[in-house]
């Protein structure tokens, strides 16, 4: 009975030691806070904003052209004749279709550009996180951003060290 008790206590000590060792192997970082702090992210956002403004200007021009023609055609509809009105109607439909296609293409181009700009930023952040985590001996690093699935983040926060690695401080 005593041997069983000693064996049980030894098992509890080993499990407790393993749990405390595992707790030291885990850290966290809020990636949604880190990425916007990087200068590359700010430059990428500025580039995307510039591209959005360009598309917005082109869409506004297309919209104004459409409205101008529509008003002109509506004013002349009573005297233009059926054949001309039908031709103008088709032209207006084609303009509207071109506008919708332009909007869709603009969205796609913005999405591609955002992906192309964000990939190197994310890669750089991940490399810095890996380097800091390995240097500090952490085997697991969780993203503590809101909605990332981490419920409690009381362990070591690598944010300061990663920012130092990225020379953000």
In the predicted model, what is the mean pLDDT of residues 139-150? 81
Is the pLDDT confidence value at 152 over 70? no
Is the pLDDT confidence value at 19 over 80? no
Structural domain boundaries in the chain: 25-165
Is the pLDDT confidence value at 37 over 70? yes
Q: Which band of pLDDT confidence, cut at 50, 70 and 90, is reported for residue 36?
A: very high
β-sheet bridge partners, residue 26: 140
Give the separation between CA 159 and CA 125, rounded to whole angstroms.
Answer: 11
Q: Which two tokens stand for residue 152?
A: 């409690």
25-165: CATH topology is Protein Binding, DinI Protein; Chain A (3.30.910)
Give the separation between CA 128 and CA 137, rounded to whole angstroms.
Answer: 14
Q: Which pLDDT does position 20 carry in this prediction?
A: 45
Task: Quick: pLDDT tens for 57-113.
Answer: 999 999 999 999 989 888 888 888 888 889 988 999 999 999 999 999 999 999 999
Residue 128, Cβ density class (10 Å: 0-12 exposed, 13-18 middle, ≥19 buried): buried
What is the pTM for the complete model shown? 0.70
Give the separation between CA 27 and CA 158, rounded to whole angstroms.
Answer: 7
Q: What is the mean pLDDT of the chain?
A: 84
Contact 28, 160 (CB under 8 A): no
């Amino acid at each position: 009975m005593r041997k069983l008790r000693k064996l049980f206590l030894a098992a509890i000590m080993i499990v407790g030691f393993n749990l405390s060792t595992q707790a030291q192997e885990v850290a966290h970082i809020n990636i949604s806070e880190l990425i916007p702090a990087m200068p590359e992210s700010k430059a990428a956002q500025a580039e995307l904003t510039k591209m959005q403004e360009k598309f917005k200007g082109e869409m506004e021009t297309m919209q104004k052209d459409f409205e101008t023609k529509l008003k002109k055609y509506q004013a002349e509809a009573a005297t233009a004749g059926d054949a001309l009105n039908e031709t103008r109607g088709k032209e207006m439909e084609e303009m509207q279709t071109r506008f919708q296609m332009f909007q869709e293409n603009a969205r796609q181009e913005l999405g591609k550009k955002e992906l192309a700009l964000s990939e190197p930023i994310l890669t750089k952040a991940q490399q810095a996180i890996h380097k800091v985590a390995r240097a500090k001996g952490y085997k697991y690093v969780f993203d503590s951003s809101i909605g990332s699935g981490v419920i409690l983040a009381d362990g070591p926060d690598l944010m300061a060290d990663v920012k130092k690695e990225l020379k953000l401080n």
